[in-house]
Amino acid sequence: MSCLFTIVQANAQILNIERARIEQDSANYMTGKAGLNFSMFNRNAGKNNPNNFLQLTFNSDVAYISARHSYLLLNYYNYLLINYDNKEQRNTIASNGYAHFRVNLYRQRRLSYELFTQLQSDRARGLELRTLAGAGVRYAILRKPKTNLYVGSGVMHEYEKWQSPDETEGIIESSLPKLTNYISNKAVINDHVTTEAIVYFQTGYDTKIDSFRNRVSGDMNLLFKLNSTLSFRTGFNCTFEDKPIVPVTRFVYAITNGIQVNF
């Protein structure tokens, strides 16, 4: 079991399904981790006029490993409220989160199969709702005690509901079949350093614009083991969309550094 205390964080939201993968040969057991963080603070915005912040973050990863298959349930939610008790300034609310369920059929075979579904929102960017469901294959290019390399490919259907920055446009919806692909790697460099990374490429043809909409995203982490209990984790994740549904920033990223405590 482990928990992560984040020191520096910028908002972005990339799902790294590999973090909850279990490569052990044992079966019929459940494992997971969960965390809940709450913070409240203020910053000066003028005499007797502070900016007040309230933030709540929840995350939970649960995996059940059977003899043949694995089942993953990944959850994350972040809520940020600014100026919640300042009557002179308007409240600003930014929330984002997801719930992702994935089944890996015949997990120990070199070629296995996956079923997945996801519910997601990112109010800070204007994403009111994203739902998707799909299926694919997962192939083990390399499986060694200290390193592995996987590729995955599949099809999915994605529905999105965006709030346009242009108030005259209001809500904009999109419903597309897409191809989804990923490559992932985890490697133990030595007794003290471990790396993990995953890169996604998703694309679908939108008849409304007579063009493909492409999304590339990635999550990379470096874990330094300080002792048997403490580890230092640094990570970078990002997303690039060449033709977003609404005019928002096409490239978003997050950098995190933290101390992880292992029990």
- Asked if pLDDT for residue 43 goes beyond 90, the answer is no
Q: Count of residues for the chain?
A: 263
Whether the CB-CB separation of 20 and 74 falls below 8 Å is answered with yes
Q: What structural domains does the chain harbor?
A: 2-262 (2.40.128)
Is the pLDDT at 120 greater than 50, yes or no? yes
pLDDT for res 234: 87
> Does residue 7 carry a pLDDT above 50?
no
Per-residue pLDDT band at 46 (split at 50, 70, 90): low
Q: What is the pLDDT of residue 235?
A: 85
Query: What are the residues whose beta carbons fall under 8 Å from the beta carbon of 194, sequence distance 6 or more?
Result: 186, 187, 188, 222, 223, 225
Mean pLDDT on 205-224: 92
φ and ψ at residue 18, rounded to 5 degrees: -75, -25
Contact 83, 89 (CB under 8 A): yes
pLDDT exceeds 90 at position 25: no
Using a pLDDT cut of 70, give the percent of the chain over it. Answer: 81
Show the tokens assigned to 211: 């063009």
10 pLDDT exceeds 70?
A: no
Supply the pLDDT for residue 87: 61
Residue 84: pLDDT band by 50, 70, 90 thresholds?
A: low
| Per-residue model confidence (pLDDT) at position 191 | 87
Half-sphere exposure of 26 (CA within 13 A, CB side): 4
The 10s digit of each residue's pLDDT in 130-176 is 999 999 999 999 999 899 999 999 999 999 999 888 777 889 999 99
